[in-house]
Amino acid sequence: MQMYPTVVGFSHRKTSFELLGRIAISPAYLPGMLRALRQEPAIGEVAGLTTCNRTEFFCLARSVEHTRRAVLHGLSELQCMTVEELEPHCMALEGSEAIRHLLGVTCGIDSLIVGEFEILGQVRQALDTARKAGTAGPFLDNLFVRALRAGRAARESTNISRGNLSVAGAAVALIRERVPDLAGRKALVIGTGDTGHQVVRALAQSGIAAMMLTNRTTGKAQTLAEQMGCTPVPMERMVEAIAACNVLICATAAPHYVVLRQMVEEAGAPAGGGARVLVDLSAPPNIDPAVAGVPGAVLLTMADLTGIAGRNEVQRLEEIARVERLIDEEMAGIESWTRTFPVQEVVRDFRRSMESVRQQHLQRHGRRFDEETLQQVDRHTRSLVDAMLHEVTARLGNLDPDTPEGRHELETARKLFTGGANGKPPSTDST
């Protein structure tokens, strides 16, 4: 049964940030979700991309409807939500549209902050997680590598990322709207991942007087603090650190709230008076929404970045068009590759099957030969397999997998060359 590229998920384009926060999957739970989806008979490969403004699953599947049902069911169980809650906000694409979506995401034109750099690392992490979980196969591996290459090219050949604007930079710009003069102010950054790094750099460039840094892993906080001239603070002293700061930015991947209302209440008013601005860039949210009710506390979330994001997108419309043209060029190459992929897959299965037979016979009869003769037999049988594969590849190359006839012939070849629908290699019982 032929499979197609699909993507199903949720993003800021169609889903509220409140709901995105509830849907977001902690990195600790993502591999389990990927493996559960991969166990679905209709899904051959799967990778998951989860950021502060999207949770999406890219699959090689029999149809987008198979993917959509599996993702909705999996998320409803994992996040204790109903399918009815999720379904109206779900995006589902198949074929070329799914591939173009991945390219748009990686090139930064589908981001909340158009042109931001973080998404490249997040897509790379999505592929790495899928590889380690054993759910990424040759199709998604190749597709993601091509998308990452396109993402780098977009930033090198256009000005889509001019000014190095990022989610972290937008957060600091948002803080400046509330606290115009950061000189003499003190910030607390929670989290040392990619976004945490970006936050620290953006704050350092903003003229903030001092920064404190904390993380669940003390060693990581210590290392980054030394690199950036921050003061490391143990998580156990969180209330004390909150009391000392005027600005707090949380960018962690914890599956629970890290900053609680009680902590902010105990911390009291910030030194020097004025409001204490807290920004939550985490997915799922890591600052208790009840913090907004504490007198003197101003809580900002991803939803509050939309104003800055909108202005940024308008400023980059010309560059977005240039990136879209680049994506058109990349799509031509990818579509050519995807048309031949089913054939390549059959040839790969045939090679694996024939090599298995070859190795079994060598092991069974190898003791009859001396070392030199055995090496000659190995070379000759390898050449024989290569010659057979060449002939098979040439014949299959004339098939069109996009037509019903081509798909039927390809499926017949798959069953013939790999020993049947069960995918087992041909028997080697005969001598």
**To the nearest whole number, what is the mean pLDDT of the chain?**
87
Task: Please compute the mean of the pLDDT values over residues 121-136 and round it to a whole number.
Answer: 96
Q: Is the pLDDT of residue 66 over 70?
A: yes
Q: Which residues lie below 8 Å from residue 123, measured CB to CB, with a gap of 6+?
A: 49, 102, 105, 106, 144, 147, 148, 151
Q: Largest alpha-carbon pair distance within the chain?
A: 90
Q: Is the pLDDT of residue 178 over 60?
A: yes
Q: Phi, psi at residue 4, to the nearest 5°? A: -130, 150
pLDDT in tens, 359-372: 888 888 878 888 88
What pLDDT shows up at residue 183? 86
Among the listed ranges 2-11, 128-137, 183-192, 367-376, which one has the minimum average pLDDT value? 367-376
Give the residue numbers annotated as catalytic, written as ranges.
52
| Sheet of 231-232, strands arranged across | 231-232, 210-214, 186-190, 247-250, 276-280, 297-300
Burial of 417 (0-12, 13-18, 19+ CB in 10 A): buried
Among the listed ranges 278-282, 326-330, 412-416, which one has the minimum average pLDDT value? 412-416
Q: Which of 162-171, 179-188, 398-407: highest mean pLDDT? A: 179-188
pTM, two decimal places:
0.76
Domain boundaries, the chain: 4-163, 166-310, 341-417
Task: Please compute the mean of the pLDDT values over residues 249-253 and round it to a whole number.
Answer: 91
- Predicted confidence band at 260 (pLDDT cuts at 50, 70, 90)? very high
At how many degrees (to 10) do helices 218-228 and 194-206 cross? Answer: 30
What pLDDT shows up at residue 427? 45
Among the listed ranges 77-81, 112-116, 295-299, 409-413, which one has the minimum average pLDDT value? 409-413
Q: Is the pLDDT of residue 186 over 90?
A: yes
Structure tokens at 303: 């939803």
- Predicted confidence band at 139 (pLDDT cuts at 50, 70, 90)? very high
Contact 5, 144 (CB under 8 A): no
Give 48's strand partners.
57
DSSP assignment, residue 28? T
Q: Which of 140-149, 249-258, 344-353, 373-382: highest mean pLDDT? A: 140-149
Q: Is the pLDDT of residue 377 over 80?
A: yes
What pLDDT shows up at residue 397? 66
Query: Of 211, 289, 285, whose CA–CA distance to 247 is shortest?
Result: 211
Q: Is the pLDDT of residue 428 over 60?
A: no
Peptide bond into 284 cis (omega under 30): yes
CATH topology of domain 4-163: Beta Polymerase; domain 2 (3.30.460)
Q: Is the pLDDT of residue 425 over 50?
A: no
Q: Is the pLDDT of residue 422 over 60?
A: no
4-163 shares its CATH topology with 166-310? no
166-310: what CATH class? alpha beta
- Predicted confidence band at 401 (pLDDT cuts at 50, 70, 90)? low
CA distances from 218 to 8, 162, 189, 192, 224 (A): 37, 34, 13, 10, 10
